[in-house]
Homo-oligomer: A and B are copies of this chain.
Amino acid sequence: MSLPLPIALDAMGGDNAPVSVIQGAELARQRFPWLKFLFYGNAFKIGSLLEKNAALRSACEVVHTDVVVNTGDKPSVALRQGRQSSMRLAIDAVKEGKAFAIVSAGNTGALMAMSKLVLRTLPGISRPAIISLLPTQRGEIVMLDMGANIECDANDLFQFAIMGDAFAKAVLNLTHPRIGILNVGQEEMKGHDEVKMAAHMLRNSKLSSNFHGFVEGNNLAEGTVDVVVTDGFSGNIALKTLEGTAKLVVHHLRRSYSSSLVAKVGYLLSRPALATLKEMMDPRKHNGAMFIGLNGICVKSHGSADALSFANAIGVATELAVQQINRRINEELSLYDVSAADNESPEI
Binding site for B on A (CB under 8 A): 72, 74, 135-137, 147, 150-151, 182, 184, 187, 189, 191-192, 216-222, 230, 232-234, 236-253, 256-257, 259-260, 262-263, 265-274, 276-277, 280-281
Contacts and interface: CB of A to CB of B under 8 A. Distances in A.
A240 B241 CA distance: 10
A182 B244 CA distance: 14
B269 A265 contact: yes
Contact of A262 (B72, B251, B269): B269
29 contacts: A137-B252, A147-B184, A150-B184, A184-B232, A192-B233, A217-B238, A217-B239, A217-B241, A218-B243, A218-B244, A220-B241, A221-B245, A221-B247, A222-B244, A230-B237, A241-B242, A245-B246, A245-B249, A246-B249, A249-B277, A249-B281, A252-B276, A256-B273, A256-B276, A257-B273, A259-B272, A259-B273, A259-B276, A269-B270
Contacts of A237: 182, 184, 216-217, 230, 234, 237-238
Given A147-B184, A253-B273, A218 B238 contact: no
A266 B267 contact: yes
Contacts of A263: 269-270, 272-273
Contacts of A72: 187
Contacts of A234: 233-234, 237
Contact of A277 (B151, B252, B280): B252
Contact of A221 (B218, B248, B273): B248
Per assembly, the copies of the chain total 2
Contact of A191 (B182, B187, B233, B257): B233
Contacts of A267: 266, 270, 273
Given A238-B237, A240-B217, A262-B269, A249 B249 contact: yes
Which 8 A/B pairs are nearest by Cβ-Cβ distance?
Answer: A217-B240, A266-B269, A218-B244, A266-B270, A256-B273, A217-B241, A221-B248, A221-B244
Contacts of A222: 244, 247-248
A291 to B, nearest CB: 16
Given A191-B150, A221-B245, A251 B182 contact: no
Contacts of A266: 266-271, 273
A293 B8 CA distance: 54
Contacts of A182: 237
A177 to B, nearest CB: 20
Contacts of A221: 241, 244-245, 247-248
Q: Which one of A137, A218, A243, A271 has the highest number of Cβ atoms from chain B below 10 Å of its Cβ?
A: A218
A248 B135 CA distance: 9
Nearest to A281: B249
A262 B233 CA distance: 44
Given A220-B245, A230-B237, A252-B281, 13 more contacts: A184-B232, A184-B233, A217-B242, A218-B244, A218-B247, A220-B241, A245-B249, A249-B277, A249-B281, A253-B273, A256-B273, A262-B272, A267-B270
